[in-house]
Amino acid sequence: MKKLQDAKRKYEEVEIPEELNNIVKNSIKEAKRNQKKQKPVKRWGIGLVAAAALFTASVNVSPALAQSLSTVPLLGSIVQVVTFQAIELDEDTYNADLQTPNVTGLDNKKLENMLNEKYIEENEALYEGFLKDMEELKAEGGGHLGLSSTYEVVTDTDEILSISRYEVNTVASSSTTMRTDTIDKKNQILISLPSLFKDDSYIKIISDYITEEMKRQMKEDENIIYWVGDDVEVEPFDKIRPDQTFSITEDHKLTISFDKYEVAPGYMGVITFEIPTELLNPVLISDYYIK
């Protein structure tokens, strides 16, 4: 379990560029104005290829290493998510399979480049951590170790693109971490959870709803267990984080997600709740995204 916690810590410590957070804070009008002023970044193509080459060299430890490029079509040829790099290692009881997403077709190249750089850095950190843990296990006499990093386009409309990345670490048991980026494709900005609301009162509103929904589900199904209430042996769910994983569905509903083991036993897996819009209306900045 310690190795699982360490692996998760390493994953969460990957630094997100400060500029990425700044983009979120810009208004839609400001984003459009900056986009018109921005000069094409000609050297990024070279930089991205160089980054890929460096990453490839850093994981060149086995003939099982594989690289591929596959396309998931989104709005024809306008915006696409591709597998920029697939890395595989299969060595006795040590297995790794990582897929790095790459966003193409955004007019806001600053946002596109920062997202893609972040995805490369995430998987690079994951793989380096895996190799270190593998060598430690071998030194201790061996064992089983697995790492999987995949992604999924969970929402794809004319307005919204949501990409979820999943990291699964396997030692004695497995843990799953999910991160989601939600992009406004029309206005070319990255949406954060706080940016949807007037103030931080949304935290209590959403948390109270999820708490009651957990209790309702457990009452209806004895096989469902959440860590909520005063009679649980672990720290119970209290409230969501300001940066809690979220997504916006095709029909403009807000969903909130929790990692495996975050609010429930492992067999419950990654858990997602859809939040009723009528509860959020009083604190939403607008109904542009959530309806």
* pTM (predicted TM-score): 0.73
Nearest to 210, CA basis, from 173, 175, 239: 239
**Architecture field, domain 2-191:** 2-Layer Sandwich (3.30)
Strand partners, 79: 74
The CATH 3.30.565.40 domain(s) of the chain lie at 2-191
Q: Which two tokens stand for residue 66?
A: 């594989």
Task: Please tell me the predicted confidence (pLDDT) of residue 78.
Answer: 74
Place of tokens 């690079």: 124
Task: Please tell me the predicted confidence (pLDDT) of residue 47.
Answer: 43
Place of tokens 């990291």: 167
Task: Please tell me the predicted confidence (pLDDT) of residue 234.
Answer: 87
Contacts of 200 (CB under 8 A, 6+ apart): 194, 242
- The sign of the torsion formed by the CA atoms of 158, 240, 25, 101 equals negative
Task: Please tell me the predicted confidence (pLDDT) of residue 6.
Answer: 52
* Per-residue pLDDT tens digits of the chain, which is 291 residues long: 444 455 445 444 544 444 444 444 443 444 445 444 444 333 334 344 444 433 433 333 333 333 443 334 433 347 889 988 888 999 989 999 999 999 999 999 999 999 999 999 999 999 999 999 999 999 999 899 999 999 999 999 999 999 999 999 987 667 899 999 999 999 999 999 999 999 999 999 999 999 999 999 999 999 999 999 888 888 899 999 999 999 999 999 999 999 999 999 999 999 999 999 999 999 999 999 999
Residue 146 contacts residue 175 (beta carbons within 8 Å): no
The CATH 3.90.640.20 domain(s) of the chain lie at 195-283
Residue 201 contacts residue 166 (beta carbons within 8 Å): no
Q: CATH fold of 195-283, please?
A: Actin; Chain A, domain 4 (3.90.640)
Task: Please tell me the predicted confidence (pLDDT) of residue 64.
Answer: 37
